[in-house]
Structures are given as structure tokens and as C-alpha cells.
Amino acid sequence: MIENDGQKNGVTAANSVPPANHTKTVGKLFLLTVFMFGFGFALVPLYEVFCEITGINGRTDDSAAVYESVEVDETRTITVDFITRTSTGMPWEFTVDTKRVEVHPGELSQVNFYVRNPARRDIVAQAIPSVSPGSAALYVNKTECFCFQHQPLESGGETLMPMTFFIDPQLPDNITYFTLQYTLFDITERAGETVDVAMNTTLGD
């Protein structure tokens, strides 16, 4: 099956110079490597766009919606539960005045969240919303939300934070019930210098 026939085939000894085509192949593979490294990072924006379109990560829009000529769909009633929690190391008390509301799609309603800072230091918080099931997230429109801004609170301070929302009447029929959860993160350190300014404005009210 096998025989030694090297000379005839023009391939010579081991130590001969590697044919130039190695460089070409290596070049292509190297480009592929670099491309895939870039792709690893590109997954971040891709994931964000994908989630924005599908809502699968449960994020709601982080800017205010406008409530204008929205038709109220009286035939349907949607149950919305609210859950509040704080991330590890975040000392605030965080509650909501209504744990559950029943609303028609298109109807504007307001819920108030209460926070108190029992710690000895001033803290800036950021609330992150999460809707479950995630597919409902696309249809939650907020006209006003404390999650749009950093929330500073001096030591011992307390405040009521309103959130006004309506459900897009386009909400698919199979969703009759969803949960909206807010998690408070302590972002004092990363908020940095802006703290003082913000602190004064809140204390002003």
C-alpha cells in the first residue's frame, strides 16, 4: 500500500524550508482567532440588542414613556405584583405601598415605593427593574420612575418614590399576570463626586 517515492513527488527532506503556503494558512487562522476574540466582545452589544427586541432579560425601558392617546382595553384585566429587594450589603429599608394592582391595559396607575437609610453614612442607590416573565417587559411603559435616576439619601433619611406606568394594550393575550421586581444597589462609590450635589437637591424638597 505504501512505498517510498519522495523524490519523484518533489517533496524533499525534513529540514527544507517550509513552503510559503504555511504563512498563508497561518495568516488566515490568525485572522480567525482575532475575529473570534472580537466576536466575544461583540456578544455584549448583540445581547443587549437582542434583549431590547425580545425583552428576554426582563429589563424595562430606562427612559420615560409618554402617555398620549393610549386606548384603554377594558375587556382585559392584568395582575401586576411588586417585589422589592436590596442587593447584598445594601442597608436600606425598601418597601412598596401596594403589593399588587389589577389594571386594564392602557390604564395609567401609580405605585409608591418607600425607602429609608438606616446607615450612618449617606448612600446613593440605583434601582434595577426586572420583569418576569421577561416577555412582558416590552409592554411595561413607565412615565415616571425612580429607577431612571440615582437615588441619594442622607443617613437616617427617608422618602417616598413614585412610579407611574401603563401596560401597552399590545400585550399578548396569554399574559394575564406578571411580576415587577426592583433591586436596590449601593452605588455610592461609583457615583463619586455627583453625590454631594445630588444630596443637596434632595434635602431641599
Q: With the CA atoms of 115, 116, 122 and 128 taken in that order, what torsion angle do they form, in degrees rounded to the nearest 10?
A: -20
Closest distance between other proteins and the C-beta of residue 201, in Å?
21
Closest distance between other proteins and the C-beta of residue 74, in Å?
28
Of 48 and 97, CB closest to other proteins: 48
Q: CA 165 → CA 13, 25, 50, 100, distances in Å?
A: 78, 58, 24, 14
Closest distance between other proteins and the C-beta of residue 21, in Å?
6
Rg (CA), the chain: 28
Closest distance between other proteins and the C-beta of residue 72, in Å?
27
Of 108 and 134, CB closest to other proteins: 134
Of 20 and 66, CB closest to other proteins: 20
Query: Residues in the site for other proteins, rule: CB under 8 A?
Result: 1-7, 9, 11-15, 18-19, 21-22, 25-26, 29-30, 32-37, 39-41, 43-44, 47, 51, 54, 56-59, 62, 87, 126, 128, 132-135, 183, 185-187, 190
Closest by Cα among 110, 65, 97, 78 to 175: 78
Of 104 and 150, CB closest to other proteins: 150
Q: Are 164 and 142 in contact (CB under 8 A)?
A: yes
Closest distance between other proteins and the C-beta of residue 71, in Å?
27
Of 106 and 184, CB closest to other proteins: 184
Closest distance between other proteins and the C-beta of residue 60, in Å?
13
Q: Which is it for strands 151-153 and 123-132: parallel, antiparallel or unpaired?
A: antiparallel
Of 4 and 75, CB closest to other proteins: 4
What is the spatial distance between Cα 27 and Cα 159, in angstroms, rounded to a whole number?
A: 61
The three-state (H, E, C) secondary structure of 48-82, written as one string: HHHHHHHCCCCCCCCCCCCCCCCCCCCCCCEEEEE
Beta bridge partners of 83: 181
